[in-house]
Amino acid sequence: MKGSCLCGKCVFDLKGEIDAVGKCHCSKCRKVSGTGSNAVHSAKPENLAWLSGEASIKTYVMPDGWRSTFCNDCGSPLPMLIENGALWIVPAGLLDEDPGVNIKGHIWTGDRPSWDVIDDTAVQFLQGPPGVG
């Protein structure tokens, strides 16, 4: 399945089974997404290949190490490698087709503002999932 940024300059191919969506409700993910949560898929490193636009990929790193990767031309968030290159985090809204998956869970729901309504039955964690971070 292909994915792309808003301007279409950064294009990638996501191979294999598309993972269910995870949603993070922390304040940083709200800021970077501009909405109540950041909806993402995860993928193994070998399952994502850039087709174009790699020169337009920029990363903003905060002093605490938290980072966001985006298209320098249109500002769309882009996939980024985490866990020392062991996993891609892929913004769900970048996929050019509906992958037909559900939401697998919500993290940092303790930071969720009152207007961010969770209306599914997926597992919820007040902070990050147990054993991570």
pTM for the complete prediction?
0.88
User: How high is the pLDDT of residue 86?
Assistant: 87
pLDDT confidence band for 128 (50 / 70 / 90): confident
Which domains does the chain show, CATH number per domain? 2-124 (2.170.150.70)
- In the predicted model, what is the mean pLDDT of the chain? 93
Secondary structure element (H or E) that encloses residue 103, with its range: strand 103-107
- Residue-wise pLDDT tens digits, 26-49: 999 999 999 999 999 999 999 999
User: How high is the pLDDT of residue 81?
Assistant: 92
**What is the mean predicted confidence (pLDDT) over 84-107?**
93
Beta-bridged to residue 48, according to DSSP, are: 14
SS (H, E, C) 7-58: CCCCEEEECCCCCCEEEECCHHHHHHHCCCCEEEEEECHHHEEEEECHHHEE
User: How high is the pLDDT of residue 56?
Assistant: 97
